[in-house]
Each structure stands twice: as structure tokens, then as C-alpha cells.
Structure 1
């Protein structure tokens, strides 16, 4: 009788253990399944966030680079006496190159860093709809003897006898002044807005050609 009870007890223990193992296995499988589903959801959410961030970056990029398009044609063959019209991401304005003079040697006690100096008489007119400082409109202009390279910008502030253009221009107003810079010896020179600005699409391109013979007084 005792042997039968012992055998029965052992069987019950084995059955109970098997049930416990199955339940534990089932719980583990359910937990793994839940973790897998949660992981997939997190992955989808992260992917969604990345897509959203990328879209926002694209929109920002488009806002910075694609917001301006000049409406004025390039003018690449202007000479002394001609007026160039600029359509920039800042405003619109006009510059007339009234005269040009090559100065040999020093001016106001300042020696040229290159071969000589070139002095330009110009008139600047604000054709936009807002008031702008003259320095903002004239920023980036240069003289050069080589169109494929860089030029030298205005140094009027360092010469006492040169009429520097300052102040502000209201719409429709104009001011006359001078631009001076160092130049190498060459047969002709160019006055322009530097290529880094025009090449980026921030302005149309305007170039004056100044023959050296015409600028020697």
C-alpha cells in the first residue's frame, strides 16, 4: 500500500513539474514575442522619426538655397560710361562707371602693393524698395586683370584724397564716389561683383572692361 502511495506521489510530482515547465516555457515565449513586437514598433517609430527629420532638413535646405532667382540678365561687356543693373538676394541697384584712372607710384603717401593703383569714379543708385547702407550695396566689388582668378576690393578708406562712399540710400536715391585698389600691370582690367557671389546665384553677373590705355591719363 505504501509503495502504491509513493508511486502515485511521484507521478503527481512529475505531472506538476511538466505543467510548470510548459507554463514557464509558454510565458517565456510570450515575453519574447512581446519584446519582438515592441522592438519592431520602436524600429518603425525610429525610422519614422528619421524620415521626418530628413524631410525637415530637405525643406530647410530648399528654403535657404532655392528661395531666390535673379530676374535680370547678365551684362558682361560693359565699358567706361555704362550702367550695370544688379538684381541680388538683398535688393536691386545700379552702378555707373563714370571714369577710370591708373595711378603710377604713391597716392597720399601710400605706396601700391602691386604695380600701380586704379581709381574708379562711380555712381551708385538704389532701385530697391528699402533703405540700405552704401557699404552693404558695395560689398564684394573688386578690380582684377584676370577673370578666372580673384581681384582686390576697395581701399578708399586708406586714402585721404579718395572720395569714399558712406551713409544710407533710400529708394531712388543715388550717390557718387570713388573706388580704388591695387593692380598688376596688364592690358585691360575688369570691375565686377566677385565671382563667389555671382557664382552662388545671389546676383546676376555684371562686368566692366577697362582698357589700360583708356585709363592712363
Structure 2
């Protein structure tokens, strides 16, 4: 065998070995990249699953979270109320109070207290305005509370906005509650009292000087 032919064969063998080595390195790199990608996807899926589970857990926890009773609220403050067997949750804001003579209604007093309130549904389900816990008004420092005049007596009364209809989550409605009550120096207005069966109550305090 000639010397040149032997050199050529050696060169071919070296080139073949080099190409085989490069091919193995490329295959290994691709395999590693595929493995890393699969591991990252698995981690992302795990993180997403944990986030969903965490969010669902928080929703359940928030729904079951106990909200403390509130007292000593002032005109303009919002109180959170949880009532009914369905545990409807809503914010009640006492906007203003004024005395008014209502000729269409003849009960015990000639002057009525009209309490303007905004109800905001902060629940995750709609409910009817009729399902709102009936508020009460009384002289502060006593255990006496008067319920509002029934809406059936107010249908034909001008200037009285009755709270009615369905309230969707996130929506709010503003209206009036009318009370047949004497004039006192100080009042308490409440959605629920310690004698009522209610999950969470809210109570406001104000003086007759704050009544418009």
C-alpha cells in the first residue's frame, strides 16, 4: 500500500470520528434542552395549579370569614351587614336623616324621621332588596328600637324613594326608610341589634342636631 493512500485512509478515519463526536454532542445538547423545557413546563403547571388552588381556598376562606359587629358609626360611614340564612353580605351607608310631615300617613306621630341609606351588594350572589335586614331607629342610651313604616303605606308618598328590586354583585341602590318616632336628643340606627338573629350587625349614632 502506498504511503499517500495510507495517509488518506487515516484522514478519513479522523474525519469520521470527529463527525460522530459532533453528532453525539448535538444529540446530547438537544436532549438536555428538551429535558430542561419539560421540567420548566412541569414547574409552570405546578405553580399555576397552586395559584388556582390558593385562589379557590381564599374565596372559601373569605366567604366563611367572620365579620365583627360594628357600633359607634357616624353619619356618612359604611357598615358591613351579614344577614339571612343565605348570609347575604352588603355595605350600608347612612347618608342623612331629616324630619318630615307626611299627610298621607296617619300613625302615632305627625312628624316622621326619614333615613336615607345606600345599600351596596359586596356578596358574590344577587339578592332582592326585600331580603335586606329591616333596620331600626331608637333613642340612644336605651334598648328601644322602632322598625320602619311598611312600604305598602309609602307607595303613594311623594319624595320617598323605596329601596326595591334585585341588587347584583357590585351594584348599589339608594333609598329611604321612614320611622314613626318621637324627637330625642340622640339616636341610634341599626341593621340588627343584640336581640336579633343576625350574623353581623352595624349601628350608627347621631344627635338631633345632625338631623336635617
TM-score normalised to the size of structure 1?
0.59
State the secondary structure of the residue aligned to 1:210: strand
Corresponding pairs, count: 144
In structure 1, which of residues 146, 149, 153 is the aligned counterpart of residue 144 of structure 2? Answer: 149
For 2:81 and 2:105, how far apart are their aligned partners in 1? Answer: 32
1:156 Cα deviation after fit = 4.2
Distance, in Å, in 2 between the alignment partners of 1:211 and 1:135 is 29
The alpha-carbon deviation at position 75 of structure 1 amounts to 1.4
Q: 2: distance between equivalents of 1:203 and 1:193?
A: 11
Residues 127 and 166, structure 2, Cα contact 8 Å, conserved in 1: yes
Match of 2:67 among 72, 85, 103: 72
The reply to whether residue 107 of structure 1 matches residue 102 of structure 2 is: yes
CA RMSD of aligned residues (A): 2.4
Question: Which residue matches 1:38?
Answer: none
Aligned residue for 2:199?
203
Q: How far does residue 72 in structure 1 lie from its aligned partner after superposition?
A: 1.1
**Which consecutive residues of structure 1, in runs of 5 or more, have no partner in the other structure?**
1-67
Cα deviations by residue, 1:177-200 (Å, 9 ceiling, x for unpaired): 1111111221111111232664x4
Q: Deviations over 1:8-27 (max 9, x none)?
A: xxxxxxxxxxxxxxxxxxxx
Runs of 5+ unmatched residues, structure 2: 1-62
CA distance in 2, matches of 1:118, 1:211: 13
8 Å CA contact retained: 1:70, 1:87: no
Taking structure 2 as the reference length, the TM-score comes to 0.60
Quick one: structure 1 residues 102 and 169, their matched pair in 2 at CA, closer, same or farther if it must change by over 3 Å?
Answer: same
CA offsets 1:120-170 (integer angstroms, 9 cap, x no match) = 111101111111000102x32111115413322243442312110110011
Structure 2 residue corresponding to 1:97, chosen from 81, 85, 94 = 94
Distance, in Å, in 1 between the alignment partners of 2:149 and 2:123 is 23
Structure 1: 4+ residue segments shifted above 4 A? none
1:112 positional shift: 4.6
